[in-house]
Amino acid sequence: LNAASPLWHLLTAKENDINNNSHIGIIYGGMMGARCDEYELDEWVMLKAENIRYLVVHCADTPDDQPLDASDIHQMHLGFGWNGIGYHRVICRDGRIEHGRPDYWVGAHVKGFNEVSLGVCLIGRQDFTDAQFAALENILRDWRDAYPDAEICGHRDFDYTDKTCPNFNVGQWCEKIGL
């Protein structure tokens, strides 16, 4: 995957280049969708909107004072050997929302549940800003409208992991804001 690849351009597209409510497919070289980290390199998977059961909140687990963005997470995930950024949205420290993978591509953020979830990542570790929480609420409300049966949860809420991500109780936070 490099800058000459159409896939790279899609993964690094700016927010206004991708309609986040679109569920169109991308056909390239006979493959459709996006690579999921749990599949072989040549296997591409489309995320089906009707299968979405979880809206998962993550944190980048990076120092709270680092102003990172989606391109930094993209590079980090490439370094893991993944096919680019695994999250569908990234919320920067200033509350700016950046796109990662399009919503119609399987993510790489919750092992074993990527085919049934969308993921949003807050930059930082635990001292999130008010602007980040406002942006998170907006994203989750939009996703909840699109996927009304999906459960909002934190990465830590999945039984398979010992992770504490996103380092706060997403369920309690949602209850507090009426989500």
The set of catalytic residues is 58, 87, 155, 163, 165
Enumerate the H helices of the chain as residue ranges. Answer: 6-11, 70-79, 130-146, 170-177
> What is d(CA 130, CA 57) in angstroms, rounded to the nearest whole number?
16
Phi, psi of 171 (to 5 degrees): -60, -45
Helix, strand, coil distribution of the chain in percent, nearest 5? 30, 15, 55
Q: At a CB cut-off of 8 Å and minimum separation 6, what does 63 contact?
A: 124, 125
> What is d(CA 46, CA 64) in angstroms, rounded to the nearest whole number?
33
